Structure formats: structure tokens, C-alpha cells
Structure 1
Amino acid sequence: MIYVLIAIICSVIVSINFKLFKRYDTNAFQAIVFNYPTAAIFCYLVFKPDLSIAPNPTEWGLFIIIAVLLISIFYFIGKSIATSGIVLTAIAQRLSLIIPVLSAFLIFSETPTIIKLVGLTLGLVAIYFSKPYGKFDFKNIINWYPLIVFLGTGILDILVNFLTKLETLTFTASLVYIFVIATILGFLSLLVQYFKGNLKFQVKAALAGIVLGIFNFGSIYFYIKALQIESNQPSVVFSSLDIGVIVMGSLVGILLFKEKLTKLNSFGLCLALIAIIILNLSNVI
């Protein structure tokens, strides 16, 4: 599960970057756009995927959908972190494990076992107790950001699992196509904003995007690598990654950014650790 751990670290560093964007008045959307050509170049140079095989229409459709979701979810993750903090955003983002775990049982025909169900149950309880600010106030538009992150991330997780099962293309080739599509869509969006007079280019946003791109690529790559290794038990990867990001993200938010943690939150984090152990044990028992 070393790949899951690396993916967790990369994901938390991405969250830290978003938190710092607000502190240093950096345009988050510009950084998001510049992160994708960085990720595309990084992916191509490091893995040198074979791009001689052209995707079929179905694969192009899947790539476009994933690219659009990546840009959109990244935008709302940035908004959520800036307004609600790393802890709440991590919980909202990783609570989406409900969606892919159910898909593992319903779509990918994984057989649920007692130990996995116990681990998942503890994980969900842990997430509930990890809520830092109580119930969402949906009358405030700011509180819609975590909900959008929850739904979008869950759907993206399912699509990425489909991505790892493509037979004609390697996953690194698929990543290059997706990052290139996201780059094109992102820069088209910036051009539209420029011609509308709403865009003021920031060099620091471009540089921040390069850093973001490296860790964004890392989180996605190692996540997919873990899914490939544990292809018969995707729920273990889903749950370990999601709960792990909550724990590490919460610690970062509390220690570095002074976000609050109640006694119930602490209890929830302990349950999360137990759930991770159970889910990993279920993979070998």
C-alpha cells in the first residue's frame, strides 16, 4: 500500500497549496490551468507512454468528461479550502468514498466481506465525528462548495476506475490525453476571460500552477497505480486513500493552519486509523 501513502501525501500537499493561494493573493483558477500542462509534460517525459494508438470515440468521450471534472472539481476544492478550511474540505472530498465503494460492489462485482463492511462502517462513522463545524448551513452559498466537492469527487473516482480497465491504451497514455484536453479547455477559458476584460495575468499563479501540477500528477498517478495492483479489491484503495487524506489533512489543518478540533473530532480520527488498519488487513486475510 506504499502507492496509497504517496498518493495521500501528494493530495494533502495540493490542499496546502490551495490554502496558501488565498494567503498570498494568488489567482487559484490560473494556477489550476497552468498545473495541467505541467502534469502532461511531467507524465510524458517520465513515463514516455506510447501515443501511437489513437483513442476510440468512447475513450475520447471518457477523457473529455474526466478532464472537465478535473478542472471543475479542482476549482471547487480551492473555493472550499479557502472558505471552509482544509479539514472540512478533506472530509467533504473523502466522504465521497460512499459513491465509489458502492460502485465497487454494484458495478465492478467485488464481493463484500464482513471485515470490509466493518472497516467501511468505521470509516463512515469516523468521517461523521470528524465534522469540524457541525451541520452544513445550505442557506449560505459558501457551504455548497463541500457538497459539490463530495459529489464530483465520487463520480470522478468511478470514472478513473474505468480508466484503469482500458485495454487498448496504457494508463499513462490516457493520463497524457486527459491532461492535454484539460490544458486546452483551461486556456480557452482564460482566453474568454481575457477578451471579456476579466483576466489579469499573474506570474506567481503560473509558477504556483507548476508546483501544483507536479503534486496533482503524483496524487493521480499513484492512486491509479494502487488501483491497478489491487484491481480485484478497489474498495480497499478507495477507503484507505480517502480516510488517510482525512487524517493527514486534518493534522495539517490543525497544526499548520490552526483549524479547530473537538474531542469528538479526535475520536473520529482515531476511528479512521482503526478503519484503515482493518481495511488493509482485509486485503491479506
Structure 2
Amino acid sequence: MVYLILSVLSSTLIFVVFKLFDVFKIQTLYAIITNYVVACTVGFFLYDGPVGISDLTNKSWFIGPIVLGVLFIVIFNLMAKTAQVSGVSVASVATKMSLAIPVVMGVVLYGEHLSWLQIIGILLALVAVYLASIKEKSIRINRKALILPLLVFLGSGVIDTSIQYFEEVHLTDQEIPFFSSMIFASAALTGFIFIGMKAVKTPLKINLKNIVGGIALGVPNYFSIYFLIRALRADILSSAAIFTLNNVAIVMFSTIFGILLFKERLSPKNWGGVALAILSIILVALF
């Protein structure tokens, strides 16, 4: 349970740092790529086994971090595009509602058992995420743009399900830091290729603020994945329960930090979402 709490706190800190990006006018894309380099470096420092090309290619999970790293960058850009086309609320809801995918996969693929109270808690969690994420009066989606939030929903769910699969089938305790590092290394490499292509038209400018922002983001970003995998390996709760608690608690704490640190105002629907989040956590964790 400690690992799950640390994962939630790390992920919540990511949202706080993102908010600070806006306050200090940090360019998100460049800070994101820096963050992946930092996250990869942190993982290598924590890994005490041999590190080399042959060591990596001999791992049964070798291809996993490569694919996941590319997905990290792609889904990030899809989230940004969704926010621009359909609104921030749509992007947020599409991302967080994806918790349904690893929950269902945990039951279908790994035969995990959920009590009726836990199932009710998971359904309440989906409603809580929706209500807590709404920052506009209403969510309106252009039918032609529906493909964007759908891709964000599926992509986010695939990332969580893939992490769950590799933890379940391939990883040892010692390999967790190395595996996490390789995800971020792949994401960083993909990002460098992206900005390299972009630099053909627009010359790159190194900005110290972007680098500092990337460092501030990279450390909690690494530990959000690291502690999530540790929580999945602890076998205290089913993966379905862990993903539900993780996502709902992140939404709840991000909302609370938004109020305390950035004086954000919540609508009655937002408060209802927070209340349902607390109730769903109780049902999923205790029953």
C-alpha cells in the first residue's frame, strides 16, 4: 500500500509541475523531452545490475519499453491536440476514464476476482473521474473530432495494460528500475527525433527554464511508474483495484492541490466527483 501511495503522490506532483509550467511560461514540449532524459538517468542510478546493449537485447521484455516510449510521446501529443480541438475537460476525461481498460483486462486475462462492492466502487470511480475533471459548464465534442479523445482513451489504456502485462509476465524485482528507465529513454529518443524534424524549419533555442522545468518533472515522472509497478508486484490488491485507486486518488489529490496551491474554484459537480472518489476508494480498497 505504501508503494501505491507514493505512486499517487508522484503522479499528483506531475500535475502540480505542469501547472507551474504555465505560471513560469515554460515550453512544455522541450521540458517534456528533458524530463524523459532525467527520468531515464534516475532509473539507471537505481539499477545495480549490468548495463549494456547485449544485456538489454537479451531481456524477454526488450521490445516493451521501446513501444511504450513511443506511445508516451504520441499520446502526449494527442492529448494536447484533443485539448485544442475539443477542450481541456474532454482530454482530461478521456485520459482518466481509460482506467476501465486495465481493470477489464485484469479480470479477463489474469482471472482476478472482484466483489460486487468493488465493482460498484469501480463504476463510481468512472463517474467520479468524469465529474471531477469537468472544468467547463459542459463538454461538447465535435463528431468529426471524436476520433481524438477516442485515441487518447485507447492509448492511455494500452499503456497501463502493457505495464501491467510486463510486470505480470516478464519483470523481476531487480529489473524494475532498468525497465522503467528504458521506457523513458525510448520516449526521449522519439522526442529528439520529433524536435529534430521540427528544427529543419525552426532553429532550436536552448532555454534554461525549459531544462529546469524538465528536471522538476522528470524525477516524479520516473517514480510514478516505478512505484506503480512496485504496487502491482506487492500482491496486496488486485491490479484492477490498484489501477482504480491510483487513477481516482490522483484526480482527487490533484483537485485538492489545485484548490490549496492555485486557488482553483470547483463547481458542485467537481465536489460531487471528489465525494464519489472517496467513496469508490473505500469500496475498492476495503471490500
Amino acid at match of 2:11: S
1:137 aligns to what? Answer: 140
2:34 aligns to what? Answer: 34
Q: For the aligned residues, what is the CA RMSD?
A: 2.9
Amino acid at match of 2:224: S
Amino acid at match of 1:106: V
Q: TM-score, normalised by structure 2?
A: 0.85
2:286 aligns to what? Answer: 281
Q: How does 1:3-82 map to 2 (within 5 A)?
A: 3-51=3-51, 53-56=55-58, 59-77=61-79
1:266 aligns to what? Answer: 271
2:182 aligns to what? Answer: 177
On the 8 A contact 1:36/1:179 being kept in 2, the answer is yes
Aligned with 1:249 (options 254, 271, 281)? 254
Report the secondary structure of 2:26's partner residue: coil
Q: How does 1:46-125 map to 2 (within 5 A)?
A: 46-51=46-51, 53-56=55-58, 59-77=61-79, 90-125=92-127
Between the aligned partners of 1:92 and 1:263, the Cα distance in structure 2 is 21
Report the secondary structure of 1:164's partner residue: helix
Amino acid at match of 1:14: I
* Deviations 1:95-130, CA, capped at 9 Å, x for gaps: 211111111111222123212212112212323433
* Deviations 1:243-267, CA, capped at 9 Å, x for gaps: 1011111122334334432223212
On the 8 A contact 2:61/2:171 being kept in 1, the answer is no
Q: Between Structure 1 and Structure 2, how many residues are aligned?
A: 281
On the 8 A contact 1:32/1:75 being kept in 2, the answer is no
Q: How does 1:104-253 map to 2 (within 5 A)?
A: 104-130=106-132, 131-139=134-142, 148-167=151-170, 170-230=175-235, 233-253=238-258
Deviates more, 1:132-141 or 1:245-254: 132-141
In the alignment, structure 1 segments of 5+ residues that lack a partner are: none
Q: TM-score, normalised by structure 1?
A: 0.85
Percent identical:
28
In the alignment, structure 2 segments of 5+ residues that lack a partner are: none
* Deviations 1:138-183, CA, capped at 9 Å, x for gaps: 2399998765543322111001111213436622221222222222
* Deviations 1:187-214, CA, capped at 9 Å, x for gaps: 2222222222253332211121111110
